Structure 1
Amino acid sequence: MNSAIQHEPLHIEQLETSHWPTTIQRPTYYRLVFIQTGRGELIINGKQLVYQTGDVFFLGPADKHSFKNIQKTSVYSLWFTGPYISSLMTTHVDLWPHIQAYRAPLSGTLIANPTEQRTLLLLVEILVMERQRLCPLLANPVVESLMKTILSLVDRHLAQHSISVSARSTTPSVFIQRIVAYINQHITEPGLLRMEKLADVFNYSASHLGALFKQQVGESIQQYIIRYKLKQVEARLSLSTMTISQIADEFGFSDVCHLNKLFKRYYQHTPTNYRRSTALF
């Protein structure tokens, strides 16, 4: 968003590129990012998220974001300010409470259901058509109606994310978060992720550490390691040209057959077939 329009309370733009070189932050704007096509990594406040076609991301005024390892990507970006939201509240001051209470970025796409993704994208495309017809976005009853619907859908999904988080029986303690951070940091070093090594690093018996982790996270340490490792494999398959053998070696699989077996168990495809199915043409 260039400086000439950065003070507009509502703005929408469509971008298509293979490279966003800078970190983007607009301290007075909320932002919805709609991935029309493409794959890559979206970095929000230093946290790396893999995106794909259909994903919708919601960001607040304090969030910094940038793109990385992009395959040609087309996005809609919808920017709006807090005062603009307030201007739409003609009757109910408590509309969209989860947007107004938003503090921390989500750990993934706002909407996972493809049908609901398409519904929201259609509303945004109508906004784009209004702009292309040179109709003003402000004081435009069509735009106001569309924005109220969009904000209501976003608020509903933010509420669902909030309920999902609060419904978890326990929140991982700071200690468990340290274990997870250690695992993530050393995910390509299998020797440092053996149960005996973890127990030694965190000064617990292996059995006690394993029980504590499963109680708070809901799965065993080894299950978490496998899932996280395969998530990184998925990213390599989608975003790099590394061979399957190179990927298997990077993450410490005994051989390609071992990687194939585990990956197919979790993704119902071999790594090779998964890469073919996600390739952009």
Structure 2
Amino acid sequence: MGHTYSFYPVSISAIPPPEPLHIAEWVVTSGPLQVPPQSYLALLLALDDAGTCHNQEGLTYACPAGTLLLLGPADRWQLNSQQPARLAWLCFSLDYLASQIAGHSQAADWQLLQAHGAALGSAGHLAASKVPPALVALLTLLVDCYAGRRGVAQDALANPLAGTVLRALGPLLAPVHSEPTATHAASVVRQVLAYIRRHAAVPDRLHLGHLAQEFAYSPSHLSALFRQHMREPLHQYIVRHRLQLVENQLQASVLTVSQIADELGFVDVCHLNKQFKKRYHLTPTEYRRQRRRPSSLSYA
């Protein structure tokens, strides 16, 4: 209301329709902060000292350079700066977020954050002193290289960097504001993930009954807990993780498919071929052959 926002190189509100991931930089003095559209979140970074900001809860925070705010569509933050300050954000859809955290332990942290709904309020505030310098450096690199550009979610460099930022952010915000029971549940899921990775080549240890006994849960409770936090069934995650190990071996080793099957605990080559083809639509041999063709490499 009466405040002037100078967006560059393109106004955030002028992008129809929203892309899965959008990066923008702009200058503002005082006034309400831009919020993301429905089914999106935005990670806002203060690139300069931006004075103070206060939210719908009536809480006021200092906003020196390096401050982060995770914004939902219903958040209401007001900025009060004595001089123009540069702000930047990564605005991303919930589907994009899910694609970046699926199968990672940080999915549990984001589950806790999303429990706040469309308005995160103070739960989305991270003081500059608590933001790792490496995270600020990554965000600044993304802003410098991709602010205002389209198709960022498909960019071979920007996409993995943005995923790294989102996975790093979850644990920084979630532990401060989560309930004790939710924190315990997230901790159990992290332990299950670590156990699966340690014993990925010993499938007998990965049966639901054995995992439930190992972590002192009923099979149904453990399965539901894992699915709630990881947004993926436990069995599906185990299969996917083991096949990713096969994929890594096919690309990086000279082991035969039979040797890989033995090393990773598959019943036999036929069993491995069947599971691999179901996921990748190629047999392991076909996959390796295709990856080794020079023409199959992409530098896009």
TM-score calculated relative to the size of structure 2: 0.46
TM-score calculated relative to the size of structure 1: 0.49
